[in-house]
Amino acid sequence: MQTLVLTVVLTALVAKVITEVWLIVLNMHEVRQRQNAPPKALREVMDEPTYRRSVEYTLAKSRFGLFGEVYGALVLAVVLFSGLLPWTYDLLGGGPTASVWREGLYLIVVMTLLSLPGLPLDHHAQFRLEERFGFNNSTVRLWISDKIKGLILVVGIALPLLAAILFLIDWIGSWWWIWAFVVFFIFQLAMMVLYPMLILPWFNKLTPLPEGELRQRLMALADRTGFRAKTIQVMDGSKRSGHSNAFFTGFGRFRRIVLFDTLIEQLSEQELEAVLAHEIGHYKLGHIPKMLALSAGLGLVSFALLAWLLQNPTFIEAFGFRFAESGPGPAFVLFALLAGLFTFWLSPLMNRLSRKHEYQADRFARENGPGAGPMTSALRKLSEKNLSNLTPHPRYSTFHYSHPTLLERETALSIHDGDSSA
């Protein structure tokens, strides 16, 4: 049985890597075929030099992605099959009599160590690839500071959460996973409120949008659509990247609208109104609770599966652990490492739902904002400023695009029934 477990895991790992490499190569081939000129319908989006630079940017990211996929798979294979995980567990004193804090610390230490091989890739992406195309505004000092802050947050937040979940295993017994899911889901809801108030300001400066015509326009839109936001804030995203975004956080009276400063610089007031109308559309159309419900369902299934694995000696023993001498830590670590090999195949379904929501939010923005024209021009500007890939391969976008392509969104905005499920 242990051989079967290892065979399944190795097969899943190889299948994922081969599929990812195949998708990236397909996408690169598609981009190269159209590298001289964009589709006729999109020739007004970028001039020729900008379009060729977007092609160069897409190909550079793709080549880096190819290396990252293979490199990441090799690191995971070494971690899983070298005996490193049980050796670390013994080193940290884990076991059936170990405290929940020690078991939780094992999870934190392992996941932190596993992030180390990815640091050179992250550094290269930020200070070589993004720098080359003019998007990087960060410094090495800021980059290091972000990593240290992230580690502090993991220890300060994730460790108590893990300890609480591990405590439930001993306290409640076989049905612990239901209550663990409840604790985890409440934690998620709490973070939706606390993140913008306590965590986000630790990384970025948030300031109220100044009084003026733009604020009046956006607040009028919020009032008109019944989206009662406590405030509109501007985030200094430009200190790290030239990319732009807009989002809202929290719920109820804790709801806040956040605009990147780069977004305000790149778009007109009417276009910003259209973008905000799109974000409000997600809220008014119930996309947030729908995605929360879906996340809750998947979370409950995950905890149930984890509970089953905890009772299965073959699972952890296949990777070198001794079941009789182990607490729940090894099963938790292995589950965290292996989950992505299997949830990867759900990406097309999740992306299909996400794209459907994007079409619906676009239609909401067209009907309740300044109209299809400003929404279209905003999408075009953002595609140009971000050097977006205008011609992704359909199979690649199925797995990796949570949003429709620019051409798909423009087509949907230009017809009466924008709720396309294509």
For 416, other C-beta atoms within 10 Å of its C-beta total 5
Summarised one tens digit per residue, pLDDT across range 52-86 is 999 999 999 999 999 999 999 999 999 999 999 99
Provide the CA 171 distance to its chain's centre, in angstroms: 34
Q: Using an 8 Å Cβ cutoff, are 179 and 303 in contact? A: no
Query: Does the pLDDT at position 92 exceed 50?
Result: yes
Q: What is the pLDDT of residue 304?
A: 96
Where are the domains positioned within the chain?
A: 2-202+290-348
Q: Which two tokens stand for residue 180?
A: 């663990």
Summarised one tens digit per residue, pLDDT across range 383-414 is 999 999 999 999 999 999 999 999 999 999 98
For residue 124, what pLDDT band results from cuts at 50, 70 and 90? very high
Just list the catalytic residues.
279, 362
Summarised one tens digit per residue, pLDDT across range 254-309 is 677 888 999 999 999 999 999 999 999 998 999 989 999 999 999 999 999 999 99
Would you give the DSSP letter of residue 328?
S
Alpha carbons 277 and 157: distance in angstroms, whole number: 34
Q: What is the pLDDT of residue 420?
A: 41
Q: In the chain, what percentage of residues exceed pLDDT 90?
A: 64
Summarised one tens digit per residue, pLDDT across range 347-366 is 999 999 999 999 999 999 99
**Dihedral sign from CA coordinates of 358, 364, 367, 371:** negative
Summarised one tens digit per residue, pLDDT across range 173-215 is 889 999 999 999 999 888 888 888 888 889 999 898 888 899 9
Q: What is the pLDDT of residue 254?
A: 66
Closest among 26, 302, 264 to 185, alpha carbons compared: 302
Would you give the DSSP letter of residue 241?
B
The residue written with tokens 């306590």 in the block is 198
Instruction: Compute the half-sphere exposure of residue 128: CA atoms within 13 Å on the CB side of its CA.
Output: 9
Closest among 124, 140, 129 to 240, alpha carbons compared: 140
236 class by beta-carbon count within 10 Å (0-12 exposed, 13-18 middle, 19+ buried): middle
For residue 253, what pLDDT band results from cuts at 50, 70 and 90? low
The residue written with tokens 């899943």 in the block is 12
Q: Report the pLDDT averaged over residues 144-160.
A: 92
